[in-house]
Amino acid sequence: MRQSLSSEFFSLIERLSDTLSREDARLAGRFELTRGELRCLRALLNGEQHLVGRLTKELEMNASQLSRVLDRLEDRDLIARSLDKKDRRNVDVVLRDQGLALAKESEEIFDSVIGSLDTERIEESVNLLKSVIQMIEEKTNVLQKSRS
């Protein structure tokens, strides 16, 4: 019984991932962006300072990938980059008005689906997914270390 529940759980996560990927691709196409560009715009929505180094980690992109994404977004006037006032070695990235509008519209579509669930259920789901990700990453790290 435990094995089949585990299989169903991971099968549902795969379906969710596939569904989100398809919707993300559809939205990106609608906005004439790549999926990476759309992910970047959404990552910039949270109002925090966004240094390029932090974005590479958050988006799980290498520096050259992110640089190309940021170049394209800047060419379309969706973002602006500037030297960080505290440390001129860092580059700060901010949304411009049109980039903000696209990011918000994209988020609103996902929020309309998630918003139909109550807050407690959403929080439980978020915590469960974070725990599963952490356990998988820890298990993967242990396996990689044992093979080295």
What span, in angstroms and rounded, lies between the C-alpha atoms of 74 and 68?
Answer: 10
Do the Cβ atoms of 46 and 58 come closer than 8 Å? no
Please tell me the predicted confidence (pLDDT) of residue 23: 87
Task: Classify residue 47 as left (phi > 0), alpha (psi -120 to 50) or beta.
Answer: left
Please tell me the predicted confidence (pLDDT) of residue 32: 93
Q: Are residues 106 and 62 in the same domain?
A: yes
Residue 83: CATH number of its domain: 1.10.10.10
Give yes or no for residue 85 having a pLDDT over 90.
no
Please tell me the predicted confidence (pLDDT) of residue 82: 87
Please tell me the predicted confidence (pLDDT) of residue 148: 64
Based on the structure, what is the number of domains in the chain? Answer: 2
Q: Are residues 136 and 94 in the same domain?
A: no
Query: Cα–Cα–Cα angle for 51, 80, 74, nearest 5°?
Result: 110
pTM: 0.76
